[in-house]
């Protein structure tokens, strides 16, 4: 595997509290790797440690497994969670400033900036000052600033927050295109639908520790069991007795039956009791969103199933 970034045994404490413990993961060339977790799980602390903004207490961060630690600044692009650009500066000037910080040739940077402004529906805004841009426009400019120098490794912390659905699609496509061209991308996002659509692998962190690390396919295979949703007036205890039902959730007249991983749906449906009240019935796989909520609320599906580790 072509590892661009390797994080090994990362640990960080603030005062007496250990907020990140024993974090290990890699990001490969040309992949989109998601770092996920509930608020306060330790994602930004991990990202800031990779960026060298925070000094970790333990562990190492290496680039292409070089002997020396850290990532060369001109090889890395970073869109931080906190947005902020100098307000009184023109869009092109700020983009060229980002390029200069990374020792990138300015004529090439100008060409790329104009291409990106056009792609992001900001054509003609190069001489507009940043404080005249809307929040979403400013975010697009900051994104361009993070990729202007063609980084090998791109770290995006909540890139979709505050964007309208059309702009989200544009960002999503651009991130996928960058990965296709070989950029290694580490993406932190709370938008599970987007993560599910675009990421190749994921690392899920909870209370500073790894809960899941694996490819999207492995995670789905291991956790995304079937669930059956029934609309009707049904007694919970009867539903719980049905073969291969692991858990039942009920709200009003809707019951959700979570099924065991080895269920054969066509057989399972045939053995449903004829006494069930079924106004509507659907069978789906659980989504990444539900897997996330299970873990974040300590329902511990992950512990029941065993942690996925694709290392």
Nearest Cα to Cα of residue 101 among 157, 67, 149: 149
Q: List the one residue from 7, 23, 26, 43 that touches ligand ATP (CB under 6 A).
A: 43
Residue 2 pairs with which residues in a beta bridge? none
CB of 60 to ligand ATP, least distance (A): 19
CB of 298 to ligand ATP, least distance (A): 16
CB of 238 to ligand ATP, least distance (A): 40
45 within 8 A of 35, measured Cβ to Cβ? no
CB of 32 to ligand ATP, least distance (A): 18
Q: List the one residue from 4, 7, 32, 41 that touches ligand ATP (CB under 6 A).
A: 41
Position 53 contacts ligand ATP (CB under 6 A): no
Nearest Cα to Cα of residue 20 among 33, 37, 3: 37
308 within 8 A of 213, measured Cβ to Cβ? yes
Within residues 190-209, the interface with ligand ATP by CB under 6 A covers: none
Residue 8 burial by Cβ neighbours in a 10 Å radius (0-12, 13-18, 19+): middle
Q: Which is nearer to ligand ATP, 137 or 159 (CB)?
A: 159
Give the Å distances, CA to CA, from 124 to 107, 145, 155, 266. Answer: 18, 17, 28, 58
Position 14 contacts ligand ATP (CB under 6 A): yes
Kindly state the number of chain residues that form the binding site for ligand ATP, as judged by CB under 6 A: 10
Q: List the one residue from 28, 44, 187, 244 that touches ligand ATP (CB under 6 A).
A: 44
Nearest Cα to Cα of residue 190 among 301, 37, 44: 37
Q: Which is nearer to ligand ATP, 113 or 154 (CB)?
A: 154
**Residue 130, CA atoms < 13 Å, CB-side half-sphere:** 19
Q: Which is nearer to ligand ATP, 37 or 56 (CB)?
A: 37
| 42: its two tokens | 């330790």
Q: Which is nearer to ligand ATP, 16 or 107 (CB)?
A: 16
Applying CB under 6 A, the span of 37-45, 55-63, 228-236, 262-270 interacting with ligand ATP comes to 37-45
d(CA 285, CA 269): 15
DSSP 289: H
Q: List the one residue from 1, 39, 55, 181 that touches ligand ATP (CB under 6 A).
A: 39
Position 37 contacts ligand ATP (CB under 6 A): yes
End-to-end CA distance of the chain: 11
Alpha helices in 148-209 (DSSP H): 165-180, 192-198
Q: Which is nearer to ligand ATP, 213 or 226 (CB)?
A: 213
Q: List the one residue from 23, 36, 42, 222 that touches ligand ATP (CB under 6 A).
A: 42
Q: List the one residue from 6, 19, 100, 104 that touches ligand ATP (CB under 6 A).
A: 19
d(CA 204, CA 41): 9
CB of 65 to ligand ATP, least distance (A): 25
Judged by the rule CB under 6 A, the positions of this chain that interact with ligand ATP are 14, 19, 37, 39-45
């Amino acid at each position: 595997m072509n590892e661009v970034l390797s994080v090994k045994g990362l640990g960080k404490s603030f005062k007496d509290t250990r907020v990140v413990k024993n974090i290990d993961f890699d990001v490969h060339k040309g992949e989109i790797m998601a770092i996920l977790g509930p608020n306060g799980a330790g994602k930004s602390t991990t990202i800031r440690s990779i960026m060298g903004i925070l000094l970790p207490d333990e562990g190492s961060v290496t680039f292409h497994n070089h002997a020396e630690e850290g990532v060369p600044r001109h090889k890395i692009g970073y869109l931080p969670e906190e947005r902020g650009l100098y307000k009184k500066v023109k869009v092109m000037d700020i983009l060229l400033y980002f390029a200069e910080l990374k020792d990138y040739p300015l004529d090439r940077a100008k060409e790329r900036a104009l291409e990106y402004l056009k792609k992001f529906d900001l054509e003609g805004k190069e001489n507009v000052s940043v404080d005249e841009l809307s929040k979403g426009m400013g975010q697009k400019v900051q994104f361009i600033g993070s990729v202007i120098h063609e980084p090998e490794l791109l770290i995006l912390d909540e890139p979709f927050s505050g964007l309208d659905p059309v702009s989200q699609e544009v960002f999503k496509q651009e991130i996928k295109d960058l990965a296709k061209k070989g950029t290694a991308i580490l993406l932190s996002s709370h938008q599970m639908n987007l993560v599910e659509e675009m990421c190749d692998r994921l690392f899920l962190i909870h209370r500073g520790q790894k809960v899941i690390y694996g490819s999207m396919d492995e995670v789905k295979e291991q956790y995304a069991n079937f669930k059956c949703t029934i609309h009707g007036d049904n007694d919970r205890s009867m539903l719980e007795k049905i073969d291969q039902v692991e858990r039942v959730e009920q709200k009003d007249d809707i019951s959700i039956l979570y099924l065991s991983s080895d269920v054969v749906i066509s057989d399972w449906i045939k053995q449903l009791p004829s006494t069930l009240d079924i106004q509507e019935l659907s069978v789906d796989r659980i989504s990444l969103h539900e897997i996330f909520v299970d873990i974040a609320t300590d329902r511990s599906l992950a512990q029941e199933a065993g942690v996925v580790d694709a290392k």
